[in-house]
């Protein structure tokens, strides 16, 4: 008779674990921004986490009380600290969320497979020079002198502590290619952003070797009225990523082009061997 086979001894092939995407919103946004993309990617088997930075989304903090970037970005830093030693994630930062994932790359480079900058501020050391400010800060002066609603948490004679684009201008500036229902939802959920904290985003004391080990991809938004394409190009030229993709979208592709955006995120993951 033939030799009996012990089925318990036959090892099943190890399941390939799909990458874990961590999505980080920009100023005034929140985890809610990503609802379409999260749904698409989770339905395709990917693990997705969406972060609320301090004073954003469901976080109860008042933007006018947040005066340092470290304080603002603490939820992401806490999340990265909670990862196990062998767990690596793909960070995706939108708009000012680029500053958040850059700080994470400085501090937790060994836990990051890839950093994806989506219409994002991509400055290796943050706002250290006038040129950094020129290419990394949105210039909305083309829409008039009264674009922002400002908050003065330190007093009327001090610099503003928070800002939000006025509601009547939000669709025209931020969501001009997005479905009407999404821009309506956003108008109900956006919150003032802690601009004083963002202005303090500097990473000069960080581990520069660590951040350079993290692969980067940039996704350009070709009809962006917030971080204009020429600003995106300037940041790409200054600190070149390994890949650059282009989306025919406004500043909010998670609303205006969610299927294409999800596809680009999966493509970016594949570029570093994750699929």
Residues 208, 211, 217: CA angle, nearest 5 degrees? 140
Report the distance separating Cα 154 and Cα 150, nearest Å: 12
Lookup result for tokens 């836990």: 111
Summarised one tens digit per residue, pLDDT across range 87-131 is 999 999 999 999 999 999 999 999 999 999 999 999 999 999 999
- 224 an active-site residue? yes
pLDDT at site 210: 82
Inter-helix orientation angle 35-43/258-271, to 10°: 60
How far is 121 from 133, CA to CA, in rounded Å? 10
Q: Exactly one of 25, 28, 94, 95 is catalytic; which is it?
A: 95
Dist. CA 44–CA 262, nearest whole Å: 10
User: Model confidence over 155-166: pLDDT tens digits?
Assistant: 999 999 999 999
Question: Mind listing the pLDDT tens digit for each residue in 25-62?
Answer: 999 999 999 999 999 999 999 999 999 999 999 999 99
pLDDT at 13 over 80: no
Q: How far is CA 25 from CA 94, 145, 207, in A?
A: 5, 26, 24
Q: Among 25, 249, 251, 252, which one carries the catalytic annotation?
A: 251
Q: What is the pLDDT of residue 6?
A: 54
Per-residue model confidence (pLDDT) at position 15: 56
Examine the residue annotation and report whether 223 is marked as an active-site residue of this protein: no
The model's pLDDT over 166-185, given as tens digits with 9 standing for 90+, comes to 999 999 999 999 999 999 99
pLDDT attached to residue 207: 66
What integer pLDDT is reported at residue 2 of this predicted model?
Answer: 47
Q: Is CATH 3.40.190.10 the classification given to domain 20-272?
A: no
Whether this model's pTM surpasses 0.85: yes
* Pairwise CA distance, residues 94 & 23, whole Å: 8
DSSP class per residue in 159-200: --SEEEE-HHHHHHHH-TTS-HHHHHHHHHH---B-HHHHHT
pLDDT above 70 for 3: no
Catalytic-labelled residue, pool 59, 132, 182, 224:
224
């Amino acid at each position: 008779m033939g030799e009996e086979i012990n089925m318990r001894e036959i090892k099943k092939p190890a399941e390939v674990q799909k990458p874990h995407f961590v999505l980080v919103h920009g100023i005034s946004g929140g985890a809610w921004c990503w609802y379409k993309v999260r749904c698409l990617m989770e339905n395709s088997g990917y693990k997705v986490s969406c972060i609320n930075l301090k004073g954003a989304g469901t976080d109860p903090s008042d933007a006018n009380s947040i005066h340092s970037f470290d304080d603002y970005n603490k939820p992401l830093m806490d999340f990265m600290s909670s990862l196990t030693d062998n767990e690596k994630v793909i960070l995706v930062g939108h708009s000012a969320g680029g500053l958040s994932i850059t700080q994470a790359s400085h501090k937790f480079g060994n836990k990051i497979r890839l950093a994806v900058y989506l219409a994002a501020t991509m400055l290796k050391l943050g706002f250290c020079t006038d040129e950094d400010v020129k290419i990394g800060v949105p210039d909305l002066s083309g829409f008039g002198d009264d674009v922002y609603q400002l908050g003065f948490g330190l007093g009327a004679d001090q610099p503003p502590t928070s800002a939000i684009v006025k509601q009547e201008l939000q669709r025209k500036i931020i969501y001009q290619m997005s479905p009407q229902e999404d821009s309506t939802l956003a108008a109900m959920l956006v919150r003032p952003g802690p601009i004083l904290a963002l202005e303090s985003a500097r990473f000069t004391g960080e581990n520069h070797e660590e951040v350079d080990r993290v692969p980067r991809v940039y996704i350009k938004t070709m009809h962006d009225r917030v971080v204009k394409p020429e600003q995106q190009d300037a940041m790409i030229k200054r600190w070149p990523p390994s890949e650059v993709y282009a989306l025919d979208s406004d500043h909010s592709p998670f609303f205006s082009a969610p299927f294409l955006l999800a596809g680009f995120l999966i493509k970016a993951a594949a570029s570093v061997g994750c699929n």
